[in-house]
Structure formats: structure tokens, C-alpha cells
Amino acid sequence: MTIPGLQVDFDSAVPVYRQIAEGVRRALLAGRLAPGAKLPPTRDLSRALGVNRNTVVSAYELLAGEGLVASRTGKGTFLVAPRSGETHAEADDEGTRWPRPLDDTPWFTGFSRAVEGAGAGQLASIYTVAISSEGISFAGTFPDSELMPLDTFRRAMDEVIGEGAAEVLGYGPTPGYPPLRQTIAAEMRDKGSPVSSAGVLVTNGAQQAMDLVFRTLLDRGDSVVLEQPTYTGALSSLQSLGTRIVGVPCDEQGIRPDLLAVALERHRPRLVYLQPTFQNPTTAVMGEHRRREILALAARHRCVLVEDDWAGDLGFGDPRPPTLHALDGGRRVIYLSTFSKKLMPGLRLGWVVAPPPVMRRLEALKQIQDFGTSPLMQAALHRFLQAGGLAEHLRAVLPVYRRRRDAMLASLERDFPRGVHWTRPDGGLFLWVTLPARMNSNDLFVAARQRGVLFSRGELFHSDGSGRETLRLTYGGVTPERIESGISILGELLRKHWPAGSADTSGRPAETVPIL
């Protein structure tokens, strides 16, 4: 049982619930549904469309908020008849109940440049795909929620609330819960960084850490240099701030120093944003020599480095080289990381370490932005860390992630056609695939989604629309069985859409032209 004419486009930037509501409205206006008609029960419609029931509930609520439908207890949801002299299509912006049209209205059009820039809304749309629970998802970079250390964390949270300390129930210090800051600082000192707790600001995940750093250092029109491809969340934040983004190509060790030198010379950026360890999306790890080269370049150009170390603790084998922050002694490196990937995204806890002049401003902006991260959540995490919960969790989960990586590598070997290349990362949650130039990951995405398989299109990680021959496949949150069937479907689609010998088969794509 569905709505006549309703089609849901899962890859659209318009949320699914909104598409459903719009579909109902269109069906009414087009006469495909009569005023007074009963809508399908939410359970039935959600099954028919293959969406979560909550999505349908939200769609009906949206329509109820507009007065287009009404619920009758025990009977269901019905379309409301328009008032006389008024049709649903003829909403007057001034005089009648708002909101009538589901899309933009002339009501207000003056938005800031922060939200009107290219790509401002793109991240939300990508994220909707990434957190989708439909089918087999290799999109997103999520740890497996099945593996989360619930008992230890539950106990930690229970103790903290039970103690009822005013300092965790009330407003806390803006830069963070002091014992958590001390623990983070101590752990970073163990890894060779000269950090005191005063240099640590706790944030709502690494995304906020990064966005705060960018907002603190960058004005509209400033240049920023970063790896091409790079993390989509960084690109969206920088686009929203109106900065000039200069992407520098990478090799298997990350950003190329020769091209970085040219970019620094030509663009004189205010900062360089890098992920030296298990780079997202290419999985590249910079060797120590490369790290020192980058630091020397930054020093020569008096340039700030922002090191995003989201995956530093997610290595499977040999220890990684020291962080840029440790090698540099924190002089010109701002460091950020998160507990989302190594523990639980739902905590929304990350941090940034910066020299005092930067820290003072980060604190001021954090204060203005949200008064500080929940002290209760921070206290629970601190208690969990004190109980040794993180080390225990990593011991349990890293071998699982490694086995899943191996399962994905084996499946790729078996199912993907010749000419496709992929990385073999020694840590992290995903790997990076490069198709032959004749193939296209956007087309593959559309075909795969219809078969119930999701992944991240390479284009999303490029600031210039390139990267269509690449894609990212996350194994961390997927069981080996599902990895096997998902990769098998992708392999089948690749062979079907791009049969061997069709057009160019040269294998590797031409290198992207650097924006230099």
C-alpha cells in the first residue's frame, strides 16, 4: 500500500521523509488522492517504500504541522479538505497559515554566506547516506556498534550520575572537565607531545575541533592547503567559511612535498590541513622522514599545520611514526583527535591541542558556540578511561577490524575485475579503491544502491569535482559475511556495466591535474 505516483530517491539531498510528504502533497494537488482520503498506515507505507517507520511518521507529522492531514485516534491519518475559497496550491505567504509549500517560500530569502555557499548543504546529504542502515553499507567511517564496551561504560556513567556532583550536572568549564583534560594530556605526553591539560580543549567530536580551528584562523578569501583527496567534513567547513581550497596530490605516503612546496610558495596559505596517519580517504601513512620534510616546509613558510589524527590508535600492526605534533614539539602544529572512531561516536567527544595564543581564542569561540561540551558525558568518559576501558576495548576490537579488512581484501581479489586497484591499510576502518579511467564510481553508486549496497563516491573527497574513478569502502562496521556478499555485488556490477575490453582498458587513470 503506497501513495500513487510517490517515488523515493535515496541519493537525493532532500531527506526521505520530506520526499514522502511532498509526494502526498503532489498526489493531492494532482487529484491522485481525494481530500478526506485515508493515508496508508505508517507500517504499511514504510514496508512498501523500504524505509524506517519513523521516516513515514515524520512525513505525516510534517503534513500535520501544515494542516494538510489530521490523525483520528484509532482510525488513522486522513487528508484534510481545503478551506473554501482556498486551494492547497494557492497558499498566500502573507495571510494564511504557514508553512504551505514544502520548499523555499518568498517569506525570507536573506541567508548568510556561511550557508549559501557551494557545498554548504552537501555534507548533510552525504551524512544521510553514511548513517543509513539500509542494506549493506560500506559508506561512513563508523566503528561497529555491536562491539562497543557497553557494560564498562554503563557502569562509569551510572557511578558518575550517582555521585551527583554539581560540577558534572551544571555548567562546566568551557575548555572541558579538568580530569578528562588531564588524562588526555598525560596520554599525549606518553606519545611524545609536550602537552599540559591547559593546552587541551574538549569538543563535540573532531568535526567541531576542526571547525573551531578553521573559524579561529581563517577569514573569507584566505587560502588553505590540504591533501587531494581529503575528508569531506573539512571541505564542507572550509567551503562554508568561504576560503580558497588548494588541493595537493598525494602518493602512497600522503601529500607530496615537492608539490606542497610549490603550493606554499604560490598560495601563501594561512594553514595546511593534514591527516598523516591512515589518511581519509586514501589510507596513506606518512613515514617519519616525510613528516619531518613537511614540518621543515611549514617552518620555512611560517605556516600553521593542522594535524587530524582521528585514526592514530587504530593501527593493526607496527607502531606508527610519531605525530607531527610530537615531532614538532607542538610549536606550529595544532592537533585534533576524537573518541568517536576508537570508542563510540554517540559520545560526541573529541579534542584539540593548541599553543596558548590559539587555545585562548578557541576557548572564546567554543564559549560563544555552545558554552562547552556536556560535563556529564566527559565525566563518564573519564571514569571509563580510568577503569582501563579504552585499552581493553582496543585489544578486543582491533583484531576484529583486521579480520574484516582481510575479508574485504580477499573478496576484492576474488570478485573485482582486473585493472581495479585498492590499498591494503595496516589500520583504520576502510580502504580506497581506484577504478580504471573508463569506469565511474557515481554510476556504480546508483546501480549498487538499487542492489542494496552503499559506499562513498570518490568525488565527495575532492574539492574540484575530480575523483570519479575512486571510491571508499568501509569494512570496520560490517561483518565478514556481509562484506563478502556486498563486494560480490559490486564486482558483478563492475563487470556488467564495464565489460572487459569495452573502450579504454589502460588500467590506471591519468593523474589528476593539481590545483597549483
276-305 residues in contact with a second copy (CB under 8 A) are 299, 302, 304
Kindly tell me which residue out of 23, 172, 425, 467 binds a second copy, with binding defined by CB under 8 A: 172
Residue pair 249/512 in contact (Cβ under 8 Å)? The answer is: yes
Q: Count residues contacting a second copy (CB under 8 A)?
A: 122
Residue 379 has what DSSP assignment? H
Window 123-162: contact mask with a second copy (x via CB under 8 A): xx--xx-xx-x------x-xx-xx-x-x--xx--xx--xx
The Cα 314–Cα 185 span in angstroms is 19
Q: Residue 224's closest CA among 207, 237, 212, 209?
A: 237
How far apart are CB 198 and a second copy at their closest, in Å?
Answer: 4
Q: Does 373 bind a second copy (CB under 8 A)?
A: yes
Which of helix, strand or coil describes residue 286? coil
Q: Does 64 bind a second copy (CB under 8 A)?
A: yes
Kindly tell me which residue out of 56, 377, 439, 473 binds a second copy, with binding defined by CB under 8 A: 377
Q: Does 336 bind a second copy (CB under 8 A)?
A: no
Kindly tell me which residue out of 9, 11, 92, 219 binds a second copy, with binding defined by CB under 8 A: 219
Q: Does 324 bind a second copy (CB under 8 A)?
A: no
Q: Does 114 bind a second copy (CB under 8 A)?
A: yes
For residue 399, the surrounding DSSP H or E stretch is helix 389-415
Kindly tell me which residue out of 26, 244, 361, 438 binds a second copy, with binding defined by CB under 8 A: 361
How far apart are CB 460 and a second copy at their closest, in Å?
Answer: 14
For the record, the C-alpha cell of 350 comes out as 573529541
- How far is the CA of 358 from the CAs of 1, 202, 215, 308, in angstroms? 58, 14, 11, 16
Residues 6+ apart with CB under 8 A from 450: none
How far apart are CB 503 and a second copy at their closest, in Å?
Answer: 38
Question: 410: exposed, middle or buried (C-beta count within 10 Å: 0-12, 13-18, 19+)?
Answer: middle
Which residue lies nearer to a second copy by CB, 129 or 420? 129
Angle between helices 375-386 and 150-163 (to 10 degrees): 120
Q: Does 182 bind a second copy (CB under 8 A)?
A: yes
How far apart are CB 515 and a second copy at their closest, in Å?
Answer: 22
Give the footprint of a second copy on residues 184-213 (CB under 8 A): 185, 194-199, 203-205, 207-208, 211
Give the footprint of a second copy on residues 223-242 (CB under 8 A): 233, 236-237, 240
Which residue lies nearer to a second copy by CB, 146 or 190? 146
Q: What is the dihedral of CA 471, 307, 186, 395, to 10 degrees?
A: 10
Residue pair 83/38 in contact (Cβ under 8 Å)? The answer is: no
Residue owning grid cell 585493472: 419
Which residue lies nearer to a second copy by CB, 212 or 259? 212
Kindly tell me which residue out of 118, 166, 500, 513 binds a second copy, with binding defined by CB under 8 A: 166
- How far is the CA of 490 from the CAs of 409, 433, 508, in angstroms? 13, 12, 19
The Cα 322–Cα 179 span in angstroms is 25
User: Radius of gyration over alpha carbons of the chain, in Å?
Assistant: 25
Which residue lies nearer to a second copy by CB, 392 or 504? 392
How far apart are CB 251 and a second copy at their closest, in Å?
Answer: 29
Kindly tell me which residue out of 7, 36, 73, 94 binds a second copy, with binding defined by CB under 8 A: 94
Kindly tell me which residue out of 41, 67, 322, 507 binds a second copy, with binding defined by CB under 8 A: 67
For the record, the C-alpha cell of 72 comes out as 483520528
How far apart are CB 5 and a second copy at their closest, in Å?
Answer: 21
Question: 91: exposed, middle or buried (C-beta count within 10 Å: 0-12, 13-18, 19+)?
Answer: middle
